[in-house]
Amino acid sequence: MANENSNFNDEAADSKVLTQDEIDSLLGYGSEANDVLQQKNGVQAILNSNMVFYERLPMLEIVFDRLIRQMATSLRNYTQDNVEVSLESIESMRFGEYIDSLTLPTLINVFKAEEWDNYGLMSLDSSLIYSLVDVLLGGRRGTAAMRIEGRPYTTIELNIIKEIIQLILNDLSTAFDPVTSVGFTFDRLETNPRFAQITRTSNAVIVAHLRIDMESRGGRIDLMIPYTTLEPVRDLLLQMFMGERFGRDTVWENHLMSRLWDTDVEVKAILKESKALLSDVSAWEKGTFLPLEIAPSDLVTVYCGDVPLFEGNMGRKDSHIVIRVQGKAEKNG
């Protein structure tokens, strides 16, 4: 009997031991071939559960579609070359993951959305930078741009790239025009991703991967916008099509407007306001007179709450004190 209990305990202990594959599956890690599947399972699925996918903001696709068409026209006019711009993908990730995914060397532009009072990033890979410089400085068509690794960008290269970045930012502002009016301004250039920290590493961001081709030359541009930057226009980006209105009921609005005219409101007429010292107020007694310094011809202001409505002269009609309206009151400030 003792041996049977010992064998049973050994079998129970063995059944609690997890293999390495089971541990990886529990944590959400696996082989590269199963990365997409693994991200939907285990602890990784819990960690990524608060991520917002760009499909939940349908208007962004329209904005980026307008952007690539605007960029193609602008870059053709600027470079006088055959430029093709395409949108490779749009994805959501964490800011830390995006920074880690950047391939060095790369040039990172920090831009600001003025109306939203927040920032975004635009990264240009070295292939695109050398290709644009080569085209603008008279390089031969149909040949790949020469890349010199291990050296910093020259002043001429940086000035050229700044102009192109400003061109793209203007196109991005134009792309957002049907949704909302916003201006994107150049803030600074960085070559080290650590110096381009504009939000917390755990915050969700949306990244649009763009491809620019000029015959046999070209490269990639990444536009990274944090969801906190898009928060002021989140409701507009949730629209399924341009001009869609959420939560609007025309019948209810018309009914509410008609009933507002039958609403009773309390108004008050203030003859005069004056200031007095607290010491004088404490000395007031029954029978004390308070001079208001108001003449019979002075106008009296009528308020609804704290809002001045109109002004008029005070008088008497039958047994009532009345005010004859002379015009709208001037609002303070």
- The yes-or-no verdict on residue 333 having pLDDT over 50 is no
- The yes-or-no verdict on residue 3 having pLDDT over 70 is no
- The pTM of the full predicted model, rounded to 2 decimals, is 0.57
Q: Which two tokens stand for residue 5?
A: 């209990």
Tens of pLDDT, residue by residue over 6-64, are 555 555 555 567 677 776 666 655 554 454 444 555 555 555 555 545 547 778 888 88
Contact 235, 141 (CB under 8 A): no
Name the residue ranges covered by the structural domains of the chain.
Answer: 18-49, 54-237, 265-328
Tens of pLDDT, residue by residue over 167-210, are 999 999 999 888 888 889 988 888 888 888 888 888 888 899 99
- The reply to whether 54-237 and 265-328 are identical in fold is no
What is the per-residue pLDDT for 249? 62
Q: Which amino acid is at 34?
A: N
Determine the distance from the C-alpha atom of residue 120 to the mean position of all C-alpha atoms in its chain, rounded to a whole number.
9
Count CB neighbours of 62 within 10 A: 16
SS3 per-residue string spanning the chain: CHHHHHHHHHHHHHHCCCCHHHHHHHHCCCCHHHHHHHCCCHHHHHHCCCCCCHHHCCHHHHHHHHHHHHHHHHHHHHHCCCCEEEEEEEEEEEHHHHHHHCCCCEEEEEEEECCCCEEEEEEEEHHHHHHHHHHHCCCCCCCCCCCCCCCCCCHHHHHHHHHHHHHHHHHHHHHHCCCCCCCEEEEEEECCHHHHCCCCCCCEEEEEEEEEEECCEEEEEEEEEEHHHHHHHHHHHCCCCCCCCCCCCHHHHHHHHHHHCCCCCCCEEECCCCCCCHHHHHCCCCCCCCCCCCCCCCCEEEEECCEEEEEEEEEEECCEEEEEEEEECCCCC
Architecture of domain 54-237: 3-Layer(aba) Sandwich (3.40)
Tens of pLDDT, residue by residue over 204-228, are 888 999 998 887 788 889 999 998 8
Asked if the 265-328 domain carries CATH number 2.30.330.10, the reply is yes
What is the per-residue pLDDT for 270? 80
- Sign for the CA dihedral angle at 261, 262, 266, 268 comes to positive
What is the per-residue pLDDT for 170? 92
- Can you give the C-alpha Rg of the chain in angstroms? 34
230-245 as b/e, with b when 16 or more CB fall inside 10 Å?
beebeebbebeeeeee
- The yes-or-no verdict on residue 261 having pLDDT over 70 is yes
- The yes-or-no verdict on residue 330 having pLDDT over 80 is no
What is the per-residue pLDDT for 140? 67
